[in-house]
Amino acid sequence: MVVRLPEKIYFKIGEVSRIVGVKPYVLRYWETEFDLLRPGKAPSRHRLYRKKDVELLLEVKRLLYTEGYTIEGARRKLKEAKKEERRQLKLPLSETAYRNALVKIKKDLQSLRKMLS
């Protein structure tokens, strides 16, 4: 099920509770169990969740309630996903390799240009 989040910067715990479909005490418990989940605090000490926090909570709920993971298993799965995300952001080639590839492409294009002229 896809949940459409309101276009807001911050969400209060009551709103997040309704969106995720769990009680506020469950959200507070999950904060203690998942290091990736760290909502901010307003000067009044109320929790302020960002959109990415709510998306993470929805993923935690899916892993626990739908996929049947334990807390530890869900924690591991989320850390693996975060590692994979970071790995994909890294450039697969060195700067020199990119430069060499661009030089080769430039030569190929010049060669094609001569052939077409």
CATH number at residue 86: 1.10.1660.10
Q: Quickly list H helices, the chain.
A: 13-20, 24-33, 51-61, 71-89, 95-116
pLDDT above 80: residue 23: yes
Q: Which residue has the higher pLDDT, 100 or 31?
A: 31
Strand, helix or coil at 11? strand
In a domain, residue 101? The reply is no
Strand, helix or coil at 50? strand
In a domain, residue 96? The reply is no
In a domain, residue 105? The reply is no
**CA nearest 33: which of 73, 85, 82, 80?**
73
Q: What is the pLDDT of residue 91?
A: 59
Query: Rounded to whole angstroms, how far apart are CA atoms 40 and 45?
Result: 9
Find the angle CA(29)-CA(33)-CA(36) to the nearest 5 degrees. 115
In a domain, residue 2? The reply is no
In a domain, residue 46? The reply is yes
In a domain, residue 102? The reply is no
In a domain, residue 20? The reply is yes
- Tens of pLDDT, residue by residue over 69-113, are 999 999 999 999 988 887 776 656 677 877 888 899 999 999 998
In a domain, residue 26? The reply is yes
Query: Number of folded domains in the chain?
Result: 1
Provide the residue range defining the domain that includes 85.
10-91
